[in-house]
Structure 1
Amino acid sequence: MAIEAGKKMTRFGLGIFALLLGMLLSACSGSDSGADTANASAQDRTTVKGYALSTVMWKQVPIGVCWDMSNADFATYTTQRNWSRLAVEASWEAHSGATFTGWQQCTNDPNYYGIRISIDDNAANGPHTQGLGTNLNNVVGGMVLDFTFRNWSPSCAGREEYCIRNVAAHEFGHALGFAHEQNRPDTPSTCNEPAQGTYGDMVIGAWDLASIMNYCNPDWNGNGQLSATDIVMAQMFYGAR
């Protein structure tokens, strides 16, 4: 029921929800003006934060995932593919109604519903997506991941599992329709990372340093973990688990 409600929520409804939530939190802040720092921090963590492109949210779950790989590469990278899948399970799937299915080799089905992943180790481009959300639907190379790190981020040598998991969790945030947090117009001057990729059309709450989508997060890609407010934003669009 929560998932269906999340799917049917209109952009207008989301805007009203965010506005009312902001008003409620402001009222709470005023009434708790004498609260200690710990209480204030706890209140901040309840604020919905994020940067989403509301027009590209997937309307149905589960969302398909397939690998654009040769038979040889599909077999060679079995472990790396599994790390990627587990990273998504432990992040977006664990904390929202967004679910993914398949994870097999891609076919030429013109009606395929889902994300096609290619593998490349390109120093100039690195892992990325070709847009956000449903803009990736059945697009060859819609998502690109790196499994070798010989050219891009060679510092990942010797810690491939950590890097593969972190990158996969971040890129699947884009696949669900979430833009980079540092792209927001209210990004503070303390964040020196440039805007990158597609912009959202819906600013939700205050800027979130801890977001997995924020390049200024002191923990690279949030160490593959969603912030408390990433979770709230994901549940706004895809419902609770």
Structure 2
Amino acid sequence: MFRLWLPRLVLLLVFLFCSNANAQPALPSGVSEMELYGTVIRGSKWDIKEIPVCWEKLQPKDQKYADLVRKAVAETWETAAQGGVWFSKTWPSCTDGAPGVHVRVADVGAHTDVVGKYLDRKPSGMTLNFSFDHWSKGCRDRREFCIRAVAVHEFGHALGFTHEQNRDDAPEQCRNEKASGSVGDYKVNKYDPNSIMNYCNAAWNGNGQLSPLDIAAVRTFYPS
């Protein structure tokens, strides 16, 4: 009798192991799969809760803007994550090989070279713009607003989030417009037109605020 049941037992154990390995992250209370919109690269999730950040050759004149970026990230992603993930309290000057996200300031298009933990120790992994003399010149008259909005978007990439408009279920006009950057490999059913990670958002960079479903997504990807 034992020999008859042994193969079935082995198959059951294999099935349970594989099911667990492929399981989706647990959803926060009150959020269903039909409501979750976040798009990420699953393998880019940080293995630590406190993510170091440093500035590359930050100029003294830019310190107030650096402080604004730190405050914007704290008020959005960190608050939304509820202790599931956060960035280091202080952001010092970078040294070669220092752990975490290396941020440079340059008058070029803001971007991250990669997303999530793939930024770890990468020189100039993230670029932010504080002057807007050559890129996005319309921001010169509303500099602080633009610095905040762009920073919150880029730090979404630092957590592993990709552009919503690159999803295969995004509207065609959105997929054809500014379709750049990495394509996520984890999404749940629907597409979020209001995500701060969506170039096709009616509000530029989400006006620097997370959508309700951005909040649900970060709580799911980095459960507290």
Q: Give the TM-score of the pair, scaled to structure 1.
A: 0.78
> Counterpart in 1 of 2:8?
none
Q: What CA distance in whole angstroms lies between the structure 1 residues aligned with 2:184 and 2:120?
A: 18
Q: What CA distance in whole angstroms lies between the structure 2 residues aligned with 1:209 and 1:78?
A: 33
> Counterpart in 1 of 2:13?
none
SS in 2 for 1:174: helix
AA in 2 matched with 1:14? Q
Residue of structure 1 aligned with 2:117, choices 134, 154, 157: 134
Is 2:25–2:221's contact at 8 Å kept on the other side of the alignment?
no
Residue of structure 1 aligned with 2:95, choices 104, 107, 125: 107
Where does 1:1-241 land on structure 2 (aligned, <5 Å)? 12-14=22-24, 21-22=32-33, 47-69=35-57, 73=59, 75-96=60-81, 97-101=84-88, 102-108=90-96, 110=97, 112-122=98-108, 126-191=109-174, 192-240=176-224
Is 1:11–1:54's contact at 8 Å kept on the other side of the alignment?
no
Is 2:38–2:218's contact at 8 Å kept on the other side of the alignment?
no
- CA distance change for structure 1 residues 16 and 176 in 2, over 3 Å: closer, same or farther? closer
AA in 1 matched with 2:102? R
Is 1:116–1:140's contact at 8 Å kept on the other side of the alignment?
yes
- CA distance change for structure 1 residues 118 and 16 in 2, over 3 Å: closer, same or farther? closer
SS in 2 for 1:51: coil
Q: CA deviation at 1:11?
A: 6.4
> Counterpart in 2 of 1:4?
none
Q: CA deviation at 1:194?
A: 3.1
Q: CA deviation at 1:104?
A: 1.2
Identical aligned residues as a percent: 41
Is 1:50–1:205's contact at 8 Å kept on the other side of the alignment?
no
Q: What CA distance in whole angstroms lies between the structure 2 residues aligned with 1:142 and 1:61?
A: 19
SS in 1 for 2:127: strand
For residues 107-160 of structure 1, the C-alpha deviation after alignment (integer angstroms, 9 at most, x for no partner) is: 12x3x32100001112xxx00001110111011110000000000001011211
SS in 1 for 2:91: strand
5+ residue gaps, structure 2, are 1-19
Q: What CA distance in whole angstroms lies between the structure 2 residues aligned with 1:11 and 1:59?
A: 16
SS in 2 for 1:117: strand
Q: CA deviation at 1:15?
A: 6.8
Q: What CA distance in whole angstroms lies between the structure 2 residues aligned with 1:203 and 1:105?
A: 36
Q: CA deviation at 1:237?
A: 1.4
Q: What CA distance in whole angstroms lies between the structure 2 residues aligned with 1:65 and 1:166?
A: 18
RMSD of aligned residue pairs (Cα, Å): 2.0
Which sits farther off after the overlay, 216-225 or 184-193? 184-193
Q: What CA distance in whole angstroms lies between the structure 2 residues aligned with 1:15 and 1:164?
A: 32
